[in-house]
């Protein structure tokens, strides 16, 4: 009826007003979050299916603000990108996670890879490689154990400068993985030319793996595509043993997800590594 229609419009207006207010609030609080020490990192294990062992961990950012509570990175990363705060936040993530890696190494566990998410805006900065180098020097992080997770949009403008940066990173021994694969617009041609070592298939592809018959064919093709391009393939968001079994059968190289582990605090990573010898 007309009445519900009107109510719906009102609801919608309230909703979007609420959204805008929240964005403004997040923006204000975010500008002070670094100074106020409100960020922390958690680390989610990546498991190698071919070698049946922990391959590494991915650093994931957490933000706890006194007024706003826990805010999800999917809510605040886009705001950090719009305001330019992503640069200082990104450097903080890189520095802190490298420090954690050095502490893990000192604790005597066999070193594993540290993966860090890099926003397209960070990657696009002219001094990206230089500032990364400075953090490696400062922290003592071994670049052979560092992996950068970049999205397709970082690579889209595949210009000379991007090519040069990737070549430099490659020289350091740094791995590059293509995050959220399947959600962007890479053409096959671009993909062929990208010097990335790992394709990370987005979680949205595994959610309906067994409910939609075509989905199996799609994910299978993505794995084969990666392999044909000499890349390793990682599936994120693995939650069930059925999914795992399917991925093993399809020769997927790495997996990540709640089935193995939720993201862990720094000290729990060492416990996890020591308690799990095989999966």
Q: Is 149 an interacting residue with respect to Ca ion (CB under 5 A)?
A: yes
Nearer to ligand C2E, 32 or 72 (CB): 72
- Choice from 180, 209, 231, 247 touching Ca ion (CB under 5 A): 180
Q: Is 202 an interacting residue with respect to Ca ion (CB under 5 A)?
A: yes
Nearer to ligand C2E, 179 or 266 (CB): 179
CB neighbours of 59 closer than 8 A, spacing ≥ 6? Answer: 41, 42, 43, 93, 96, 97, 100, 114, 115, 116, 117
* Residue 160 structure tokens: 């000379």
- Choice from 44, 65, 117, 162 touching Ca ion (CB under 5 A): 117
- Name the residues that contact ligand C2E, by CB under 6 A: 44, 59-61, 72-74, 77, 93, 117, 119, 179-180, 203, 236-239, 256-258, 263
Selection from ligand C2E, Ca ion, none that 73 binds (CB < 5 to 8 A by kind) is ligand C2E
The beta strands (E) that lie in 193-253 are given as 198-201, 232-235
Among 263, 230, 257, 226, residue whose Cα is nearest residue 241: 257
Among 124, 148, 256, residue whose Cα is nearest residue 197: 148
| Secondary structure (3-state) at 145 | helix
- Nearest approach in angstroms of CB 204 to Ca ion is 8
The residues of the shown chain that bind Ca ion, judged by CB under 5 A, are 117, 149, 179-180, 202
């Amino acid at each position: 009826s007309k009445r519900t229609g009107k109510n719906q419009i009102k609801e919608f207006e309230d909703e979007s007003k609420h959204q805008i207010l929240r964005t403004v609030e997040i923006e204000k609080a975010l500008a002070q979050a670094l100074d106020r020490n409100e960020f922390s990192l958690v680390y989610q294990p990546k498991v190698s299916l071919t070698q049946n062992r922990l391959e590494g961990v991915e650093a994931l950012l957490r933000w706890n603000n006194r007024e706003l509570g826990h805010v999800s990175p999917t809510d605040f990363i886009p705001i950090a990108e719009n305001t330019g705060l992503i640069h200082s936040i990104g450097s903080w993530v890189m520095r802190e996670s490298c420090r954690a890696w050095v502490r893990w190494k000192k604790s005597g566990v066999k070193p594993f890879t540290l993966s860090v998410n890099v926003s397209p805006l960070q990657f696009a900065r002219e001094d990206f490689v230089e500032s990364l180098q400075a953090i490696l020097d400062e922290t003592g992080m071994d670049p052979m154990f560092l992996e950068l997770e970049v999205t397709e949009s970082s690579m889209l403008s595949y210009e000379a400068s991007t090519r040069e940066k990737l070549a430099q990173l490659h020289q350091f021994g740094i791995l590059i993985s293509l995050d959220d694969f399947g959600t962007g617009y890479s053409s096959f041609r671009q993909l062929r030319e990208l010097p990335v070592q790992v394709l990370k298939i987005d979680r949205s592809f595994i959610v309906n793996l067994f409910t939609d018959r075509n989905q199996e064919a799609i994910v299978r093709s993505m794995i084969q595509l990666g392999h044909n391009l000499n890349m390793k393939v990682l599936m994120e968001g693995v939650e069930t043993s059925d999914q795992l079994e399917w991925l093993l059968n399809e020769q997927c190289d790495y997996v990540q997800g709640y089935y193995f582990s939720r993201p862990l605090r720094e000290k729990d990573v060492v416990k996890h590594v020591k308690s799990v010898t095989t999966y």
